[in-house]
């Protein structure tokens, strides 16, 4: 039985669950960008410099708790971990709507980062337990599609909620779905295929045999310490750090950049903020399919990040005098930055054995969180200090150029042969 035909129902059963879970995580971290554009700073007396720090504090909490969460998910249970994370982050998100001072907001932003820290590595581990090498880029993409698709609809919905009620009500309303979904998660999810009642014994055996066969072609790594010293892991940590500077500088401050560009209302800013994520959604699906088809991961990462970097630098050169051309370049930058996520997160499980790959992905993701913290903080600071997004365009573009170079110097995985003539490993 070919790996591509093993239990096709896995896609229909698991992917909607994965997608919804990560979508809700992303909703409750990204809606702060709309509150920033809608008056939270004036209501709480937040300065521009403090606003950028508050927006970024989420990623500081996110940074510190990636690896502990991944270790728990790898050694114990993804199901239990995500269940409690859903309840806690939904609660924190809603509590953001009742804050009355800056220290309270800072504490909630940090704690929200802590309880969401385990989500990404745990879900990547979950996917690696259920999908084979030839499927993994597409499976990862359906997970990460929760990011741009959520921002796509959240941009519109949050704009309307703020316009109709206010930023406080937006936070409170958008925190409830995660708590409700926690109940559905508990009853729908099994950690491993062997626990699934909706798969036949033959399907379980075939899937397990395929996953085990793939592990035999990967060079053994004894422990996390050895994995974390791996040259490729170190390079990918630095690469994801630089890449995330561009992504989250963009995500967290796009509504504010747009409103400052034309003094538009929140509903208009919401609609315009949604367009880059529509482009990103389409690009991610196409790129992940092509990456799985060719089994070449790097080829579908660095060229797209280069396009994103050039689009940011183009926005800087165009300047604020030509808003619509600059906006078109931002749409290209957003789509290009998101497109490579699926192939990128397929690299590590194909280079490292299962006993350490989850921890390595958590380490890489934690460095991405640190890059996100720096990107969202500095972009917010530059926008406030200069009164223009021009300097932040240069900063984000330079970070993406660094990530391009770092992707290019990642070496192919050892002890692996191409799956078919002409294909190249990552």
Task: Please state, in angstroms and rounded to a whole number, the distance separating the CA atoms of residues 330 and 315.
Answer: 7
Tell me: do 400 and 358 sit in the same domain: yes
CATH number at residue 284: 1.20.1250.20
pTM of the entire structure? 0.76
Q: By three-state DSSP, how is residue 184 classified?
A: helix
Residue at 135 is within a domain: yes
pLDDT for position 286: 93
User: In Å, what is the CA distance from 36 to each residue of 93, 139, 230, 273, 309?
Assistant: 15, 33, 40, 14, 25
- Digit-by-digit pLDDT tens for the chain (426 residues) are 444 468 889 999 999 999 999 888 878 777 777 787 777 878 888 877 787 777 778 878 888 888 888 888 888 899 999 999 999 999 998 999 898 888 998 999 899 988 988 888 899 889 988 998 888 888 888 888 877 788 778 777 888 888 888 889 999 999 999 999 999 999 999 999 989 999 999 999 999 998 888 877 777 777 778 888 889 999 999 999 999 988 877 766 676 666 665 666 667 777 787 788 889 889 999 999 898 888 888 999 999 999 999 998 888 888 767 778 888 888 898 899 989 998 998 888 788 877 788 888 889 988 998 888 888 788 878 877 887 777 888 888 999 999 999 999 998 655 444 443 444 444
Task: Please state, in angstroms and rounded to a whole number, the distance separating the CA atoms of residues 123 and 102.
Answer: 32
CA 25 to chain centre: 10
Residue at 230 is within a domain: yes
Helix (H) or strand (E) holding 144: helix 133-144
Give residues with Cβ within 8 angstroms of 194, minimum separation 6.
Answer: 204, 208
pLDDT for position 322: 78
Residue 263 has a CB neighbour count (10 Å cut-off) of: 8
| 415 φψ region: left (φ > 0), alpha (ψ -120 to 50), beta (else) | left
Q: How many domains does the chain have?
A: 2
Residue at 419 is within a domain: no
Residue 49 has a CB neighbour count (10 Å cut-off) of: 13
Give residues with Cβ within 8 angstroms of 144, minimum separation 6.
Answer: 22, 284, 338, 341, 342, 345
Tell me: do 244 and 351 sit in the same domain: yes
Task: Please state, in angstroms and rounded to a whole number, the distance separating the CA atoms of residues 419 and 375.
Answer: 38
Q: By three-state DSSP, how is residue 301 classified?
A: coil
Task: Please state, in angstroms and rounded to a whole number, the distance separating the CA atoms of residues 157 and 219.
Answer: 48
Q: CA-based Rg of the chain, rounded to a whole angstrom?
A: 21
Tell me: do 177 and 283 sit in the same domain: no
Task: Please state, in angstroms and rounded to a whole number, the distance separating the CA atoms of residues 62 and 245.
Answer: 14
66-75 helix and 78-95 helix, angle to the nearest 10 degrees: 150
Residue at 425 is within a domain: no
Residue 164 has a CB neighbour count (10 Å cut-off) of: 10
pLDDT for position 142: 85
pLDDT for position 255: 65
Helix (H) or strand (E) holding 174: helix 167-188
Residue 412 has a CB neighbour count (10 Å cut-off) of: 15
Tell me: do 181 and 292 sit in the same domain: no
Tell me: do 261 and 354 sit in the same domain: yes
Last residue of a domain, one of 170, 192, 214: 192
Last residue of a domain, one of 143, 168, 192: 192
Tell me: do 138 and 185 sit in the same domain: yes
**Spatial contact of 263 and 37, defined as CB atoms under 8 Å apart:** no
Tell me: do 18 and 112 sit in the same domain: yes
Tell me: do 262 and 388 sit in the same domain: yes
Task: Please state, in angstroms and rounded to a whole number, the distance separating the CA atoms of residues 145 and 184.
Answer: 20
Tell me: do 263 and 405 sit in the same domain: yes
Residue at 35 is within a domain: yes
**Spatial contact of 287 and 300, defined as CB atoms under 8 Å apart:** yes
Residue at 422 is within a domain: no
Tell me: do 141 and 256 sit in the same domain: no
Residue at 418 is within a domain: no
Question: What is the span of the domain harbouring residue 79?
Answer: 9-192
Tell me: do 122 and 69 sit in the same domain: yes
**Spatial contact of 342 and 141, defined as CB atoms under 8 Å apart:** yes
Nearest to 241 by CA among 115, 407, 358: 407
Task: Please state, in angstroms and rounded to a whole number, the distance separating the CA atoms of residues 237 and 62.
Answer: 15
**Spatial contact of 385 and 48, defined as CB atoms under 8 Å apart:** yes
| Structure tokens that stand for 32 in this block | 């702060």
Cα maximum dimension of the chain = 64
pLDDT for position 91: 93
Last residue of a domain, one of 192, 210, 232: 192
Residue at 18 is within a domain: yes
Tell me: do 241 and 373 sit in the same domain: yes
């Amino acid at each position: 039985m070919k790996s591509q035909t093993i239990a096709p129902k896995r896609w229909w059963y698991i992917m909607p669950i994965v997608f919804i879970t990560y979508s809700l995580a992303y909703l409750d971290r990204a809606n702060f960008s709309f509150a920033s554009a809608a008056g939270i700073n004036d209501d709480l007396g937040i300065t521009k410099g403090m606003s950028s720090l508050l927006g970024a504090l989420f990623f500081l909490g996110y940074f510190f708790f990636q690896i502990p969460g991944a270790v728990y998910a790898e050694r114990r249970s993804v199901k239990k971990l995500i269940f409690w994370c859903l309840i806690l982050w939904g609660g924190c998100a809603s509590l953001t709507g009742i804050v009355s001072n800056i220290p309270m907001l800072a504490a909630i932003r940090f704690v929200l980062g802590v309880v969401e820290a385990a989500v990404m590595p745990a879900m990547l581990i979950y996917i690696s337990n259920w999908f084979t090498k030839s499927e993994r880029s597409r499976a990862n993409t359906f997970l990460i599609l929760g990011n741009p698709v959520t921002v796509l609809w959240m941009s519109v919905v949050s704009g309307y909620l703020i316009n109709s009620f206010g930023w406080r009500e937006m936070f409170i309303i958008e925190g409830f779905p995660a708590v409700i979904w926690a109940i559905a998660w508990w009853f729908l999810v099994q950690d491993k295929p062997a626990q699934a009642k909706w798969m036949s014994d033959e399907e379980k055996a075939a899937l397990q045999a395929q996953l085990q066969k793939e592990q035999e072609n990967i060079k053994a790594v004894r422990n996390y310490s050895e994995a974390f010293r791996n040259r490729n892991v170190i390079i990918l940590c630095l690469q994801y750090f630089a890449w995330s500077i561009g992504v989250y500088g963009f995500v967290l401050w796009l509504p504010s950049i747009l409103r400052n560009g034309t003094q538009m209302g929140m509903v208009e800013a919401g609609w315009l903020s949604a367009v880059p994520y529509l482009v990103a959604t389409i690009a991610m699906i196409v790129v992940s399919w092509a990456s799985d088809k060719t089994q070449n991961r790097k080829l579908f990462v660095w060229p797209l990040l280069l396009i994103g970097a050039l689009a940011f630098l183009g926005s800087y050169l165009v300047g604020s005098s030509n808003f619509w051309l600059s906006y078109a370049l931002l749409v290209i930058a957003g789509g290009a930055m998101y497109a490579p996520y699926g192939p990128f997160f397929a690299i590590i499980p194909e280079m490292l054995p299962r006993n350490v790959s989850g921890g390595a992905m958590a380490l890489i993701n934690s460095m991405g969180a640190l890059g996100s913290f720096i990107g969202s903080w500095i972009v917010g600071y530059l926008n406030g200090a200069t009164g223009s997004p021009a300097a932040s365009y240069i900063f984000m573009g330079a970070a993406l150029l660094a990530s391009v170079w770092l992707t290019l110097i990642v070496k192919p995985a050892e002890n692996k042969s191409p799956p078919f003539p002409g294909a190249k490993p990552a």
